[in-house]
C-alpha cells in the first residue's frame, strides 16, 4: 500500500502519512498505530550518506544480521562462532558489532586491547586471521570498563560511520551482531543496508516462553521492515556434558555440601566404566510449550536447529577462540556446524562457488 509515494505497512492506520514522511509517527493519524514509535524515531527523507554506504557494501557479497528479542540468549556467541566457521571454510569474513552499549565481540574473538587503524582507504578492521576482520566500538573505548551512555542519534551516527568508513575489501560475508530488542540500532542498520541488499536475519532464542515472547516481536519487526528471517536458532537447548565432566555432591539436611566426585568416578570406573563415556542431558529451561520449533511453525519462519548449553562452548567464548579448532566442544560444535551448513544451503552458497 502506498500513500504520497511512500510504502505503507499493511497494519498501519487508515490515513498513514508514510514511514518516510516528516510527520511519520507524529501526526494525529499515527495515534494508536503499532508502528508509531518505529516511524517517529526512524531517519526521514533521502540520506546523503546512503550513496557512500552503497559504494562500500558493493564489495560485500552476503550480509547477515544476527538478532535476538532478549539479551543473554547467546546471540554474540553465535555471531562469533558463525564467523569463525565461515572463515575456516576459506570464506573472506567481516564481523561488525553494532551492540554499542555492550560490545562483547572483541572478547569473544580474542581481540581485547586492540585498536582501530586508519588508512587512505578508511578504517581498517582488526584481524583475527587474514580472512576474518572485526569492527566494534569496543576497540574505541579508552578503558574496557568505560560505559557508553549515548542516545539514539549518536548510536545511529556511529553505525553509519562503521558502514561508510570501514574498508572491508572484497569479502564473502558480513555478519552483523546487533543488540537485543527492536530499537534505534535495528531500524538504522536495516535502513542503511536495505538499498545494498541484505540476505536476511538469523534470530537467536532460548527455549522458554520468557524468551520466545520477545523473539516473536523480533520476527514481527523483521516482517514490518521487509527483512527476511533466514531462520531461528534455539540456543542453550538443554545442558549437555560428558558424565565424567560433572562434580557430584551430597547435601545434608542442614544444607551442608560434601564433594563426592572422586568416590563416584572411582565407583563407575570399577563397576561400570562404560558410563563414563555417556553424555548427560538436563533440560535447563522449560520447553513444554514447544520451544523455538513451535514458534517457527506458528509464525511461518524457518527453524535452523538447536545448540545445547555446553560448558566447553562457554569456555571457548571466554577465551576468544573457535569451538571448531579442537575436539573439546564435542557436543556444541557439531550442532553449530549443522546449522551453518543449513544456512549456506538456504543461501545457495558453496565454497566452490564463492572461490570461483
Binding-site positions for [4Fe-4S] cluster read: 16, 30, 33, 39
Closest by Cα among 306, 296, 303, 302 to 334: 306
Can you say how many angstroms the Cα of residue 21 is from the centroid of all Cα atoms in its chain?
Answer: 31
Residue stretches of the annotated binding site for ATP = 69-76
Cα separation, 62 vs 340, whole angstroms:
14
Identify the residue whose cell numbers are 543449513. Answer: 342
Going by their DSSP bridges, the two strands 171-177 and 257-259 should be labelled as unpaired
Cα separation, 185 vs 144, whole angstroms:
22
Q: Name the phi and psi angles at 48, rounded to 5.
A: -65, -20
Cα separation, 301 vs 311, whole angstroms:
29
Q: Name the phi and psi angles at 136, rounded to 5.
A: -155, 150
Residue stretches of the annotated binding site = 16, 30, 33, 39, 69-76
SS3 342: helix
Cα separation, 53 vs 94, whole angstroms:
15
Cα separation, 163 vs 70, whole angstroms:
25
Amino acid at each position: 500500500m502506498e500513500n504520497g509515494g511512500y510504502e505503507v505497512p499493511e497494519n498501519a492506520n487508515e490515513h498513514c502519512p508514510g514511514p518516510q514522511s516528516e510527520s511519520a509517527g507524529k501526526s494525529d493519524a499515527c495515534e494508536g498505530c503499532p508502528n508509531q514509535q518505529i516511524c517517529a524515531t526512524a531517519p526521514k527523507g533521502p540520506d546523503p550518506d546512503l550513496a557512500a554506504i552503497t559504494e562500500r557494501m558493493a564489495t560485500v557479497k552476503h550480509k547477515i544480521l544476527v538478532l535476538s528479542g532478549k539479551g543473554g540468549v547467546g546471540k554474540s556467541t553465535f555471531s562469533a562462532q558463525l564467523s569463525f566457521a565461515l572463515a575456516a571454510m576459506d570464506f573472506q569474513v567481516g564481523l561488525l558489532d553494532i551492540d554499542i552499549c555492550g560490545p562483547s565481540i572483541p572478547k569473544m574473538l580474542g581481540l581485547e586491547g586492540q585498536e582501530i587503524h586508519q588508512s587512505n582507504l578508511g578504517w581498517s578492521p582488526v584481524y583475527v586471521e587474514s580472512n576474518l576482520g572485526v569492527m566494534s566500538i569496543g576497540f574505541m573505548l579508552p578503558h574496557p570498563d568505560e560505559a557508553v551512555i549515548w542516545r539514539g542519534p549518536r548510536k545511529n551516527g556511529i553505525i553509519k560511520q562503521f558502514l561508510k568508513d570501514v574498508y572491508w575489501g572484497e569479502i564473502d560475508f558480513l555478519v552483523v551482531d546487533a543488540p537485543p530488542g527492536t530499537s534505534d540500532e535495528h531500524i538504522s542498520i536495516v535502513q542503511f543496508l536495505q538499498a545494498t541488499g541484505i540476505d536476511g536475519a538469523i534470530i537467536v532464542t532460548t527455549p522458554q516462553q520468557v524468551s520466545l515472547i520477545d523473539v516473536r516481536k523480533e520476527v514481527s519487526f523483521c516482517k514490518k521492515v521487509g527483512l527476511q528471517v533466514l531462520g531461528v536458532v534455539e540456543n542453550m537447548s538443554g545442558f549437555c556434558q560428558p558424565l565424567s565432566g560433572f562434580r557430584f555432591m551430597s547435601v545434608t539436611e542442614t544444607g551442608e555440601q560434601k564433594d563426592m566426585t572422586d568416590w563416584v568416578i572411582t565407583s563407575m570406573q570399577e563397576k561400570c566404566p562404560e558410563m563414563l563415556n555417556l553424555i548427560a542431558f538436563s533440560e535447563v529451561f522449560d520447553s513444554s510449550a514447544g520451544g523455538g520449533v513451535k514458534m517457527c511453525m506458528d509464525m511461518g519462519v524457518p527453524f535452523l536447529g538447536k545448540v545445547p548449553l555446553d560448558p566447553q562452548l562457554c569456555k571457548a567464548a571466554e577465551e576468544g577462540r573457535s569451538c571448531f579448532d579442537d575436539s573439546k566442544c564435542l557436543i556444541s560444535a557439531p550442532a553449530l556446524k549443522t546449522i551453518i551448513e543449513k544456512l549456506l544451503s538456504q543461501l545457495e552458497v558453496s565454497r566452490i562457488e564463492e572461490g570461483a
